[in-house]
């Protein structure tokens, strides 16, 4: 049976404990009742507020300044959130209220962001701008990425279907077959093709040689024409003509007959010299023209053979008697 002293101690303990608990409760309630709060509203349209509860924190740039006081449905697509913030919090008309996540728990709180000094203060009871949270931006981007990824997978599935795969396999087989046939053709006609290229190189070499000879001949003729002897010959002929005209005009045939014969002899010698020079030049020209004609005949023969049988470029030429095939 409890003694009176024990009862007294128990009573004192209960009184002190109750007093402390009541004092703590009064402090909390008094702090809430004495603290002046301003009420604002946020309207979220087509935005889920899952994880936002009564009493959730309201932060201003990361500093807690209030709490969520109420949640209500406005219409089929809108939710009204009532918040209470400490009086004096600089909430401007361009301040945005976004929903942010608390770690990975799924709980949310209201974050007040933005606002400039030039903007006017939002009246108490006003409606804040509902901003889009970073989580929603990431979620929207993820949905777009997933939709595009699904489209890519569908296209890839169509590309790897039986019909497309069969077409690709057939195309690869055809390409392999063509490559093998081309390689075989080149291997079989390698010698003929090499001979054809060699013949063409010889023809081109002959043509270049003939052209060089013709060019040298024309240069020689030009040098002969440009020499002083040729010009002297022409000048002497002009002089003789002028002299003859003068002598005929003066009718001094008797005295100038000897000079006339001498001039004729000189003229004859000049003409003979000129004929010799012209004959040598003519021989060079004729020899060059014959070489050029032979080269043209060779080219004409090669052209006729190729025109009649184009496959000679791969198979080469075969000689049967006097006939070239």
Q: What pLDDT tens digit does each residue of the chain (325 aa) get? A: 567 777 778 888 888 988 898 888 777 766 666 677 889 999 988 888 888 889 899 999 888 898 999 999 988 888 999 999 988 888 888 899 888 888 777 788 999 988 888 888 888 889 898 887 666 666 666 678 887 888 887 777 776 666 677 777 778 888 888 888 877 877 777 777 777 777 777 878 877 888 887 777 777 777 766 666 666 666 767 777 777 677 666 655 555 566 667 777 777 677 667 667 766 777 777 777 777 778 777 777 777 777 676 666 555 554 444 444 4
The model's pTM is 0.38
- Please say whether the beta carbons of 196 and 312 come within 8 A: yes
pLDDT for the residue 58: 92
Which tokens in the block code for residue 73? 């449905």
Which tokens in the block code for residue 286? 């004729």
- Please say whether the beta carbons of 39 and 69 come within 8 A: yes
For the chain, state the CA radius of gyration.
Answer: 59
Distance of alpha carbon 270 from alpha carbon 266, whole angstroms: 6
Which tokens in the block code for residue 221? 């003729």
Point out which residues pair with 45 in neighbouring strands. 78
Distance of alpha carbon 183 from alpha carbon 173, whole angstroms: 15
Would you put residue 62 in left (φ > 0), alpha (ψ -120 to 50) or beta? left
């Amino acid at each position: 049976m409890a003694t009176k002293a024990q009862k007294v101690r128990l009573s004192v303990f209960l009184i002190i404990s109750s007093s402390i608990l009541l004092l703590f409760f009064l402090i909390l309630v008094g702090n809430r009742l004495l603290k002046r709060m301003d009420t604002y509203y946020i309207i979220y349209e087509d935005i889920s507020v899952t994880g936002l509860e009564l009493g959730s924190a309201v932060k201003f740039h990361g500093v807690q300044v209030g709490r969520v006081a109420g949640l209500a449905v406005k219409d089929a697509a809108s939710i009204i959130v009532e918040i209470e913030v400490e009086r004096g919090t600089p909430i401007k008309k361009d301040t945005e209220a976004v929903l942010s996540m608390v770690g990975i728990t799924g709980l949310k709180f209201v974050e007040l962001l933005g606002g400039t000094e030039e903007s006017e203060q939002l009246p108490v009871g006003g409606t804040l701008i509902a901003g889009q949270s970073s989580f929603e931006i990431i979620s929207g981007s993820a949905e777009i990425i997933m939709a595009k990824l699904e489209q890519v997978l569908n296209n890839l599935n169509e590309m790897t279907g039986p019909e497309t795969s069969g077409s690709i396999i057939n195309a690869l087989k055809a390409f392999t077959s063509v490559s093998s046939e081309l390689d075989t053709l080149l291997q079989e006609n390698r010698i003929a093709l090499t001979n054809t290229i060699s013949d063409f190189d010889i023809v081109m070499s002959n043509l270049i040689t003939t052209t060089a000879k013709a060019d040298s001949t024309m240069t020689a003729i030009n040098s002969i024409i440009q020499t002083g002897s040729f010009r002297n010959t022409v000048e002497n002929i002009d002089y003789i003509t002028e002299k003859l005209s003068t002598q005929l005009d003066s009718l001094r045939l008797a005295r100038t007959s000897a000079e006339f014969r001498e001039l004729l002899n000189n003229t004859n010698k000049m003409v003979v010299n000129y004929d010799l020079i012209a004959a040598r030049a003519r021989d060079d020209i004729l020899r060059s023209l014959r070489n050029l004609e032979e080269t043209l005949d060779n080219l004409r023969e090669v052209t006729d053979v190729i025109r009649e049988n184009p496959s000679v470029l791969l198979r080469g030429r075969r000689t049967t008697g006097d006939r070239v095939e």
